[in-house]
Amino acid sequence: MAKKRALITGINGQDGSYLSELLLEQGYEVWGILRRNSVAETQTSRIQHLRERDLLRLEYGDMLDMASLVRVLKASRPDEIYNLAAQSHVRISFDQPIYTAESAGMGTLLLLEAFRLTCPGARFYQAGSSEMFGEPAESPQNERTPLNPVSPYGCAKTFAHHLARQYRQSYGLFISNGILFNHESPRRGENFVTAKVVIGALEIRHGLRRSLALGNLDARRDWGHAKDYVRAMWRMLQHAAPDDFVIATGQDRSVRELVEFVFARLGLGDWRPYITSDPRYLRPTEITHLRGDASKARTLLGWMPTIGFEQLLDEMIAHFEPIVAGRRR
Ligand code: NAP
Ligand code: F7E
């Protein structure tokens, strides 16, 4: 049987890298869209191991350049499209609302149009987010919880989510929306709170800094592992019918609890003398509490998270420890 082909936008991001590994394990031919960057050496660090083994087909393109999307779709003729590209940092979306809306919102529309016109038989995954719930009307959140975004990022993702539904309904296309809660890993960007706390605490332990500045310690999030969450994306596209699915662990922790856990694990004792507060890391509108209910995914997709909060952070600590230790020299 011919190999299945998948196209991933955002292939060099956290999720794109784990999804590439998963699809390659399943025997797929994997194509990815990469944007041109002036530091090519570091841009592909998360997928370098796959590039070295010549396992990926990378093509230059950009979510804002529809011609490039059409070109890559025509060249790759994918069976499955995973739309993971976006400016994905919520705090930064307040500083760059237009670019965020363009990459996450308009970029998705350009890709949906290119997909409808060039390869409508393919299956499409749209990377939606729990940030679309805003300050949620109920807890835990499921697929029927109203969307009420409070950040430019959340608004852009909501626009993309509604368009994906509309394309599914209007044109009968196979498009599934994931509504994914926070997921982390050793490949998480260093300015998201889990990686920032792990790296900051390690730097304190290695004498590289005295304190770590954070924003809101009271916010509560439902944190899972990216490896588990890319498996859910794949399962959505193997399901008999397209649909919307919440993906979450169902357990929430505060940022304070995250800090407490990491500092205790590193034997630093009481975390309070080390943590300072910096308004730069606050958001004009913050979501205080998010916790997901993934029972629909459990029932219809047979999906369950396998990696818990503590195991996730232990893995991140083990990964960053030698990197931070190396910075001492
Ligand atoms: P990430 O690590 O920030 O990766 C984002 C990817 O998008 C990168 O490959 C980035 O490329 C690419 N990108 C950004 N703007 C682009 C553009 N204009 N054209 C082409 N590519 C562009 O994000 P992630 O954590 O893997 O998340 C994957 C997707 O899921 C994102 O859409 C995110 O918003 C969404 N999501 C994430 C979470 C989470 O907790 N991780 C939860 C819900 C939803 P560069 O390297 O060139 O910047
Ligand atoms: O913040 C608080 C912050 O930036 C988590 C993205 O993947 O998940 C992610 O968005 C919480 C927030 O993730 C700092 O205010 C406190 O309450 O790690 P984060 P996020 O904003 O939840 C969603 C589901 C996505 O879709 C996004 O793409 O931590 N917090 N102090 C801080 N956050 C950061 N970054 N830095 C701080 O110093």
Do 151 and 217 lie in a common domain?
no
What's the rounded Cα separation, in Å, for the pair 161 and 148? 13
Do 169 and 281 lie in a common domain?
no
| Lowest mean per-residue pLDDT among 16-20, 35-39, 204-208 | 35-39
pLDDT value, residue 128: 98
Whichever domain contains 126, its CATH number is 3.40.50.720
Task: Tell me if 303 is assigned to some domain.
Answer: no
Do 11 and 135 lie in a common domain?
yes
pLDDT beyond 90 at 148: yes
**Percentage, residues of the chain above pLDDT 90:** 96
Is 181 near ligand 2, meaning CB less than 6 Å away?
yes
pLDDT value, residue 329: 65
Do 198 and 149 lie in a common domain?
no
Do 128 and 167 lie in a common domain?
yes
Q: How far is the CA of 1 from the centre of ligand 1 (A)?
A: 32
What's the pLDDT band for 149 if we cut at 50, 70, 90?
A: very high
Q: N- to C-terminal Cα distance for the chain?
A: 53
Q: Are 240 and 136 in contact (CB under 8 A)?
A: no
pLDDT value, residue 39: 87
Do 215 and 232 lie in a common domain?
no
| 111-135 pLDDT, tens digit each | 999 999 999 999 999 999 999 999 9
Q: Which ligand 1 atom minimizes the distance to the CA of 62?
A: 19
Task: Tell me if 127 is assigned to some domain.
Answer: yes
Task: Tell me if 302 is assigned to some domain.
Answer: no
**Tokens encoding 144:** 């029927």
pLDDT value, residue 2: 87
Task: Tell me if 137 is assigned to some domain.
Answer: yes
Do 137 and 85 lie in a common domain?
yes
pLDDT value, residue 1: 75
Do 139 and 200 lie in a common domain?
no
Task: Tell me if 304 is assigned to some domain.
Answer: no
Mean pLDDT taken over the chain: 97
Do 63 and 157 lie in a common domain?
yes
Options 28, 153, 167, 229, the catalytic residue: 153
Is 94 near ligand 2, meaning CB less than 6 Å away?
no
CA distances from 243 to 49, 124, 164 (A): 33, 11, 10
Mean pLDDT computed over 67-88: 98
| 167-223 pLDDT, tens digit each | 999 999 999 999 999 999 999 999 999 999 999 999 999 999 999 999 999 999 999
Residue range of the domain that includes 279: 193-221+253-289+309-326
Structurally, the chain folds into a number of domains equal to 2
Residue 118 CA, chain-centre distance (Å), reads 26
What's the rounded Cα separation, in Å, for the pair 85 and 88? 8
138 belongs to the catalytic site: no
Do 214 and 238 lie in a common domain?
no
Do 177 and 143 lie in a common domain?
yes
Mean pLDDT computed over 157-161: 99
Do 120 and 228 lie in a common domain?
yes
pLDDT value, residue 3: 94
Whichever domain contains 215, its CATH number is 3.90.25.10
Residues in the chain: 329
